Amino acid sequence: MPIHGTLPPRFSALGELLAKQLEEGRHLGAAVAVYERGEPVVDCWGGAVTPGGAPWTRDTRATVFSTTKGVTAACLHLCVERGLLAVDDPVVKHWPSFARRGADKGKDRITVRHLLSHASAIPQCPDAVTRFEQTADWDFMTTQMEELEPQWEIGKGSGYHAVNFGWLVGELVRRVSGKSLGTFLQDEIAGPLGLDGVHVGLPEALEPTVAPLEAPPAGHGLGANAPPEMQQPDSLMARTLLRPKGDLVAYMNTRLARAAEYPASGGIATARGLARLYAALAEGGTLHGVRLWSPATLARATELQAKEGEKDFVIGFPMRWALGWHLGGPFTPCGPNPRSFGHAGYGGSVAFADPDARLGVAIVMNRMQNELQGGFRVMFAVKAIYDSIAGS
């Protein structure tokens, strides 16, 4: 299947892999972008936006689920850079009603650091949230965050805040900056850096540019490999990852979902735009003369927070959490270098920075898979990128 865009000869292995994956049906449509030393070197795409339909183009955008978390983290760290808050501030300093419930369990001791590193002990979907449509109401959802009670001792381990991360961190950005997360992103990051097509809350005029999500193909569920906790409705894993019940893919294809600000899981982006953001982060916070973050801010933001080898309370395996990003290393899609940082999303998307190799990388697609950490199709693509750079 043909690959379009910019793909230099030294990245031919990446192009061949992407074409093969498309031919085999591992993707419906997909795009890959790479910045090296602050300059774009790969911007390619292939496939279609719908089965048998229009081709994927340079301007096609994809829903990137939890890859959005890395963008949200970048927003909060810009607030830290500007002195609007500090990572060790108690959340209640900026959000006084945050511990309206749960103070007896130490909720008033939760810090910004705890939120960013998934250590605040409130990952669970609120009991009052039973329909996806409710999550489009920002004020309702932030009120529900105030109602949550810690599920373990705060700071004593991490548990992936799969969707709550967005309202927790996004509300902090709103309170200290006076702008919603999506507006802050556009005004303070996307605009200055010239990011192409990175949104949290999609303008209606851009609806035609979004590739609809396609549900995972038959046989791509976790099936027999699903953790036992996933089958227990009252487990922390199930209460965090499987609520509210319903067809998530179908909902995320609606205008309501795309217009809403979901800073944890509803971002819509081109690979090119995400790669450019992470190129700025890989270059110490400055790209093409635009300085947003200082190297010191990024150094603090990318320090490992979780204990090596300690299992995450929600997803059941170790995560190398920094402050809003997960770090690279073996068996992660964020590159093999341990100082790499970024985020992957449900369905396979990923975007990350590698400050050692000076890379900004992003991969987006619209055919969902239920594999963790982006799955092998994404890890193979990341490996092909690094092999191409090593070979050159």
> The domain spanning residue 61 has which CATH number?
3.40.710.10
Contact 87, 80 (CB under 8 A): yes
Q: Could you count the other beta carbons within 10 Å of the beta carbon of residue 299?
A: 12
- Cα(53)–Cα(29) distance, rounded to whole angstroms? 11
Predicted local distance difference test score (pLDDT) of residue 109: 98
Residue type, 35: Y
- Cα(359)–Cα(14) distance, rounded to whole angstroms? 15
Measured CA angle at 135 (ends 122, 102), to 5 deg: 25
> Whole-prediction pTM value?
0.97
Q: With respect to residue 115, please indicate whether it lies within any of the assigned structural domains.
A: no
Domain count, the chain: 1
Q: In what order do the strands lie in the sheet with 198-199?
A: 62-63, 268-269, 198-199
- Residue labelled with tokens 């369990």: 105
Contact 148, 124 (CB under 8 A): yes
Torsions phi, psi of 246, nearest 5?
Answer: 140, -175
The separation between CA 85 and the C-alpha centre of its own chain, rounded to angstroms, equals 22
Cβ-in-10-Å burial (0-12, 13-18, 19+) of 145 comes to buried
Q: With respect to residue 318, please indicate whether it lies within any of the assigned structural domains.
A: yes
Predicted local distance difference test score (pLDDT) of residue 372: 58
Which of 66, 117, 120, 388 is labelled catalytic?
66
Domain range for residue 53? 4-74+182-391
DSSP state letter for 183 = H
Q: With respect to residue 133, please indicate whether it lies within any of the assigned structural domains.
A: no
Q: With respect to residue 229, please indicate whether it lies within any of the assigned structural domains.
A: yes
Q: Which two tokens stand for residue 361?
A: 């990388």
Q: Where are the beta strands (DSSP E) in 263-349?
A: 268-269, 286-287, 290-291, 326-327, 341-344
Predicted local distance difference test score (pLDDT) of residue 229: 81
Q: What does each C-alpha distance from 197 to 115, 200, 209, 285 come to in angstroms? A: 27, 10, 10, 20
Query: What kind and span of H or E run contains 44?
Result: strand 39-47
Q: With respect to residue 137, please indicate whether it lies within any of the assigned structural domains.
A: no
Residue 340 annotated to the active site = no
- Cα(119)–Cα(142) distance, rounded to whole angstroms? 18
- Mean pLDDT, the chain cut into blocks of 10 residues (392 residues total): 96 97 96 98 98 96 98 98 98 98 97 98 98 98 98 96 98 98 98 96 98 82 66 93 94 98 98 98 98 98 95 94 95 93 95 98 93 78 95 72
Q: With respect to residue 217, please indicate whether it lies within any of the assigned structural domains.
A: yes
Q: With respect to residue 201, please indicate whether it lies within any of the assigned structural domains.
A: yes
Predicted local distance difference test score (pLDDT) of residue 362: 98
Cβ-in-10-Å burial (0-12, 13-18, 19+) of 344 comes to buried
Q: With respect to residue 15, please indicate whether it lies within any of the assigned structural domains.
A: yes
